[in-house]
Amino acid sequence: MRLVSDFYNENIESSIGGTVKHPVQQRQRREHQLLPHQFVTLGSLKRWGELQEDNPRQRPTDYSQFAANLGTPNHSTSPFPCDGQINNRFVIWEGDISQLKVDAITNSTDETLTEKNRISKKIFGRAGVALTSAILHDVRRCKTGEVRVTPGFFLPSKYIIHTVGPTYSEKFKTASEATLYACYRNVLYKARELGLRTVALCDISSVQRNFPLVTAAHIALRTIRRFLEQYRTEIVIVCLESNAHSIYAVLAPLYFPRDQLEERSALWQLPKDIGGLYGEPQLADRQIRIIHNPQHSVMIEADDDSDTSPHDLEMGSDVEYSNINLSLAAQLTGTAHSFTQMQGDLDRQRLLGDRPRMIYESVLDDGLEGIEHQER
C-alpha cells in the first residue's frame, strides 16, 4: 500500500528538475527512511527524575559543611528549587533526533537552511525530497536567532523547527550568548504557539560554530528550566551526541535538582549569572545613566568598538557612562535619588580602563565649570 506522501515526493522531485526515479533508486532512497519499529517513542525514554532512581551514582558534595573554609555560596537561596513535576517533563537523551516520534524536532542550520551538518543530513535524508522543496520554494531563508517551521514529511515527528545559531566570537561574546538564548527560546515558544506538547531540541551551538560547550549548556538548561516553570504541560527532550551528553549530565542537576542535596550543592556550583526571568543573559555590569549631557558626542567619539561598548544599547536619549559624583549629577539632572543606588566606583574603574583619561577629565572639568558659572 502506498502512502499519499509517496506520490507527493515523486511529484516534487519532477518539479525541482529531477527525473522520475527508477524503482531501484526509489528503494535505495527509502532505505534511509525509518520503519515504524525504528521510531523512538517518548514512553521509551527515561525522564530526568527517573534517572536518579534507576541509576545509583556518586552523591554530590554537600558544600554547606565546609562553609567555614569556603565562605558564602554564590546564591543564598535556590534559584532553581527541586520540582518533581518539572523533572518529569525533562529528558536528556543520547541518540538520533530524526528517530524521535514527537510533535516537533529541531534542526540547527544556516540562514539559507542548507547547512550540511551531522544532524541536518539525517533529518533531510529521512524526511524526503519534499523537505528540500519546502525549503527552496517556501521557506527560503531564516535570520540568525529566528525559527522557521516545516512539516516532518517522512520523519516520525509532525514538524521540524529550523533555527540558525550564532557563530561564537570572544569579541562579541555577549551578542553570541544572547542570540543562542533567542534560538532556544524561540523554538520552545513556537512549539507552544503551535499547540505542541513534545519538542526535541538538538545542540544548537554546534562545534562548527565555535561555541564553548559548557557556556552553551548553561544557556540551554536555564532557558528550558524557565520555560517548564512557566508552562506546566509541555515536555522537552534534549537530544545530544556523546560529547555534549556528558557535559549536560553533569550540569543538569544544577538547574533540575532531584533532591535537597542536589539543590544545596547547586547553591555553590551555579554561576552567579543565572540569567533573567526567562533565562536570558544579563548585562549587570552596564549601569546606564540617562541625563542631559552636552558632551555625549565627545564621549561617543572616544569610545571603542568592543563588545562592552555603549553603542550596543540605543536608548533614544543622551546616555552618559562617566562617574560624575552624586552632587554634580544632582545639579545637572535634579534627580539625585536615582543615582544613590549606582556603584560609581566600579563604573569609574571600568570606564577609565578602556577610555582615554584626558577626554574623561576634560568632560568632567567642563561640567564643573558650567556649574560654577551658574552659581556666579
Q: What is the DSSP string of 194-215?
A: TT-SEEEE--SS-GGGT--HHH
Question: Is 147 in contact with 186 (CB distance < 8 Å)?
Answer: yes
Q: Which three cell numbers stand for residue 142?
A: 531564516
pLDDT of residue 282: 85
Tell me, what's the pLDDT at 356? 40
Asked if residues 166 and 175 have their Cβ atoms less than 8 Å apart, the reply is: yes
Q: What is the mean pLDDT of each run of 10 residues along the chain (376 residues)?
A: 39 40 46 70 93 61 69 89 97 96 96 90 94 93 95 96 94 94 97 97 84 95 98 96 91 95 92 92 60 49 44 34 37 38 39 38 46 50
The length of the chain, given as a count of residues = 376
The reported pLDDT for the residue numbered 71 is 77
Residue 51: per-residue pLDDT: 78
At position 61, the amino acid (one-letter code) is: T
- Residue 28's SS3 state is helix
The pLDDT, as a whole number, for residue 60 is 73
Taking alpha carbons only, the member of 234, 34, 7, 15 closest to residue 152 is: 34
Which helix H or strand E contains 91, and what residues bound it? strand 90-94
Residue 11: predicted pLDDT: 46
pLDDT at 240: 94
pLDDT of residue 183: 97
pLDDT of residue 329: 37
Does an H or E element contain 52, and which?
helix 48-54
Which pLDDT value is given to residue 88? 96
Joined together, the cell numbers standing for residue 123 give: 533529518
Question: In the prediction, which pLDDT does 310 show?
Answer: 36
CA 132 vs CA 45, 171, 192, 202, 348: distances in Å: 30, 35, 25, 20, 54
| Cα 105 to the center of its chain, rounded Å | 16
- Are 33 and 6 contacting, i.e. CB atoms less than 8 angstroms apart? no
Q: Is the model's pTM score more than 0.95? A: no
CATH code of 89-244, in short, is: 3.40.220.10
Give residue 263's pLDDT. 94
